[in-house]
Amino acid sequence: MKNKTSLSALLAVLFGFFIMGFCDVVGMATSYVKNDFGLSETLAGFIPSAVFFWFLLLSVPTAIVMNKIGRKRTVLVSMVITIVGMMLPFISYNLVSCMVAFAFLGIGNTILQVSLNPLLTNVVKGDALTSSLTGGQVIKAISSFCGPFIAAFALSFFGSWEYLFPIFAVITLISTLWLLVSPIQEEKPDSASSFGATFGLLKDKTILLLFLGIVFVVGTDVGMNTIAPKLLIERCGMAVDAAGFGSSVYFACRTVGAFVGTALLAKYSPVKFFRINILIAILGMLALFFVNDLMLIYTMIGLVGFVCSSIFSVIYSMALQSRPDKANEISGLMITGVFGGAIVPPLMGYATDLVGSQNGSVAVILVCILYLTYCSFGIKVKNN
């Protein structure tokens, strides 16, 4: 009976990673909202910011609150917030309701990302933890991959893409109820976190370098998710609903890359893996300045997704290894870096309006990847 309960709890927690992937739908949704309300590229660039800005504000406070109310309750709170947000555009579809919905999605996702990984440690122990964490990231990638297909289903079956939101709400409700009835025993934290203890770690040059690495790798991820359909619309003349599959190509390759990366990282140095993959990403981004053929665009988008799929995990683990005595604080700090997804898209939109094409966005993402290249060669971690 204990094994059955543990398996049920494990599956309930892992299903939460599928909900975590919902935040990535904002890349594809940006094209729909821009088209529906006639937004400029600059204004449309702020749509992903509505999701990812909250990682800057709420990650550390969430970690502090989680120490008081527990991990499972914190995860449940995140899911309730997500459900409320996903119902708003369905009730009234306008620009304001969409922005509020994305804000709720960002708030819920911030709380979820801070609390779900620690909750997994309460149902999985020992050597199985690493594989379970990796499995969770793969589930998240699958969720991100499914987003455009769910939107296309909503468009063809219900006649409007925004029915995606109540579909997400129902899936989140199922996850909430499943976790609610799954018994999970949590240990009490050894010590309380604080703002000072967390942000004080940035005085460590290694931690600062890696924190900025998280900012730029998430910026790259959200940027690629956002630009994929726009490149297809601009250069191939595709309709918005068809161009959304560009994001699916990106996330499909990310999912495959996560599987391959898991196997390679078990055998090879994470730092060397980081360096080789980021150099390949540079080549992919440079090619995107020039390619106009549909298949070549898909190939370069997929290539960048494939080689960048495991970089977040590598940077995150390197940060933990550099200061294992401050694991809780470092975890909160690294998740705060996810706000990079709020910074990069507005810069992409401004750059695109400035130069008159999506090459402006490509240039912004290339800058992010160049920093990651600097990070990969500038970091020094023992045993790598």
Helices 25-37 and 128-158 pack at an angle, to 10 degrees, of 20
For residue 318, which of 384, 268, 240 has the smallest C-alpha distance?
384
Residue 107 domain boundaries: 2-183+193-378
Helices 205-236 and 327-336 pack at an angle, to 10 degrees, of 30
Q: DSSP for 235-269, please give it.
A: HH---HHHHTHHHHHHHHHHHHHHHHHHHHHTTS-
Say if 235 falls within a structural domain.
yes
Task: Report whether 99 contacts 51 (CB < 8 A).
Answer: no
Given this model, what pLDDT does residue 75 score? 94
Cα distance between residue 254 and residue 167, in whole Å: 24
Tell me the C-alpha to C-alpha distance, in Å, between residue 64 and each of 13, 68, 74, 195.
21, 7, 11, 9
Say if 263 falls within a structural domain.
yes
Exposure class string for 320-346: b at 16+ Cβ within 10 A, else e? ebbeeebebbbbbbbbbbbbbbbbbbb
- Give the largest Cα separation in the chain, rounded: 63
Say if 322 falls within a structural domain.
yes
Instruction: Note the Cα 160 to chain centre separation in Å.
Output: 25
Q: Which token pair is 213?
A: 């690495």
Say if 255 falls within a structural domain.
yes
Say if 218 falls within a structural domain.
yes
| Residue 259, domain CATH | 1.20.1250.20
Say if 383 falls within a structural domain.
no
Given this model, what pLDDT does residue 5 score? 47
Helix (H, G, I), strand (E, B) or coil at 383: coil
pLDDT in tens, the chain (384 residues): 444 447 788 899 999 999 998 887 877 788 888 888 888 888 888 888 888 889 888 888 888 888 788 889 999 999 999 999 999 988 888 889 889 999 999 999 999 988 887 788 788 765 555 556 667 778 888 888 788 788 888 888 888 888 888 999 999 999 999 999 988 887 666 555 667 777 888 888 989 999 999 999 999 998 998 899 899 999 998 888 788 788 888 988 988 888 888 778 778 888 898 999 999 999 999 999 999 999 999 999 999 999 998 888 888 778 877 876 676 677 778 888 888 888 898 899 899 999 999 999 999 999 999 999 999 998 775 544
- Number of domains within the chain: 1
Say if 384 falls within a structural domain.
no
For CA atoms 301, 319, 129, 19, the dihedral sign is negative
Say if 188 falls within a structural domain.
no
Cα distance between residue 264 and residue 256, in whole Å: 12
Given this model, what pLDDT does residue 328 score? 66
